[in-house]
């Protein structure tokens, strides 16, 4: 089991002795898992979770977002049990925009629920719409084929950011995109992270993507799952396409691949 070292930094996310069963304890999907993400003031953290399909990666995100409670154990965000006061947003692989609403209204949805006047929320939503490259599409319905898959994920990211999250969960958000769109979205996400500094917890099956985006990668073994490997990605913070030509980037990809193959054989 991977041991997490708790320093004097503020803890953003803590999980203690997490277990998940759906049949009254006859079998366990996750068992005795721990997880810790500490604050990096003025920077945030970009954490990527890897693991075989079905090991519980998405379930971990759902715990943090408050969408599911574990069978056993404790989940804390900023030292408190997950609740409405926690500023956590989530972007899913499936397109999550409301298709009967415009791009502008989708992006401003969190502000609407906060009671912000329409003129103000539209102004603030437009700022993010411009930033994610959707200006000119703001009055279209947020649905396919009016918007492409990449554009719909931009809507979801902009909506999540406008909610001013301290923690942003992303569950394979680029998994359904074509390769060109996926690469562009990776760069857009790094740009957004460098400007807004949220703590991002990102699930993917794409190892080169994980190495390109992450500060730290954590690997889960198959059920009963828990975190078993940690790889710190010591690449420059300011990354671009040239980063992928760096021999050290290639070495890290191979290291993570080897760890994944090793973990897949664990019981």
Per residue in 2-44, pLDDT (tens digit) is: 878 778 888 999 999 999 999 988 899 999 999 999 988 778 8
pTM over 0.95: no
Q: Rounded to 5 degrees, what angle do the CA atoms 83, 99, 114 make?
A: 35
- Under the banding of pLDDT at 50, 70 and 90, the label for residue 263 is confident
Give the pLDDT of residue 223.
Answer: 79
DSSP string across 17-78: EEEE-SSTTSS-SEEEEEEEEE--TTT--EEEEEE-TTSSHHHHHHHHHTS---SEEEEEET
Give the domain 11-87+166-264 fold. Rossmann fold (3.40.50)
207, 204, 165: which is closest to 65 by C-alpha?
Answer: 165
Give the pLDDT of residue 39.
Answer: 87
DSSP state of 202: E
- Please name the residue that has the structure tokens 């703590």: 199
Report the mean per-residue pLDDT for the chain.
89
Positive or negative, the CA dihedral 240, 244, 246, 248 is: positive
DSSP string across 62-81: HHHHTS---SEEEEEETTEE
**Pairing label, strands 72-77, 80-81:** antiparallel
Residue 265 reports pLDDT greater than 70 = no
The first and second tokens of residue 119, run together, are: 């003129």
Average pLDDT over residues 239-258: 95
Report helix, strand or coil for 230.
strand
The first and second tokens of residue 224, run together, are: 């009963």
pLDDT per position as a tens digit, 49-85:
999 988 899 999 999 998 899 999 999 998 888 876 6
Domain with CATH 3.40.50.300 in the chain: 11-87+166-264
pLDDT per position as a tens digit, 174-203:
988 889 989 998 998 999 898 888 899 999
Average pLDDT over residues 233-254: 94
Give the pLDDT of residue 84.
Answer: 61
Q: Are 70 and 30 in contact (CB under 8 A)?
A: yes
- Separation between Cα atoms, residue 241 and residue 246, nearest integer Å: 10
């Amino acid at each position: 089991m991977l041991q997490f070292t708790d320093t004097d930094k503020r803890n953003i996310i803590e999980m203690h002795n997490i277990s998940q069963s759906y049949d009254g304890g006859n079998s366990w999907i996750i068992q005795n898992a721990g997880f810790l993400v500490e604050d990096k003031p003025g920077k945030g953290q970009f954490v990527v979770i890897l693991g075989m399909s079905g090991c519980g990666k998405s379930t971990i995100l759902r715990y943090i977002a408050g969408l599911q409670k574990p069978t056993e154990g404790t989940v804390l965000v900023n030292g408190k049990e997950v609740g409405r006061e926690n500023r956590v947003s989530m972007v899913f692989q499936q397109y999550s925009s409301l298709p009967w609403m415009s791009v502008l209204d989708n992006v401003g949805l969190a502000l609407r629920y906060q009671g912000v006047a329409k003129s103000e929320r539209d102004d603030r939503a437009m700022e993010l719409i411009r930033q994610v490259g959707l200006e000119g599409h703001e009055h279209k319905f947020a649905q396919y084929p009016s918007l492409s898959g990449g554009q719909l994920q931009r809507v979801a990211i902009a909506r999540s950011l406008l909610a001013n999250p301290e923690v942003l969960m992303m569950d394979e958000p680029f998994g359904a995109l074509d390769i060109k769109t996926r690469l562009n979205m990776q760069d857009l996400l790094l740009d957004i992270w460098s400007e807004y500094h949220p703590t991002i917890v990102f699930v993917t099956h794409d190892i080169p993507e994980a190495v390109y985006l992450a500060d730290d990668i954590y690997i889960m073994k198959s059920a009963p799952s828990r975190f078993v490997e940690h790889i710190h990605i010591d690449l420059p913070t300011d990354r671009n396409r040239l980063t992928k030509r760096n021999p050290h980037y290639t070495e890290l990809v191979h290291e993570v691949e080897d760890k994944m193959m090793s973990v897949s054989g664990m019981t």
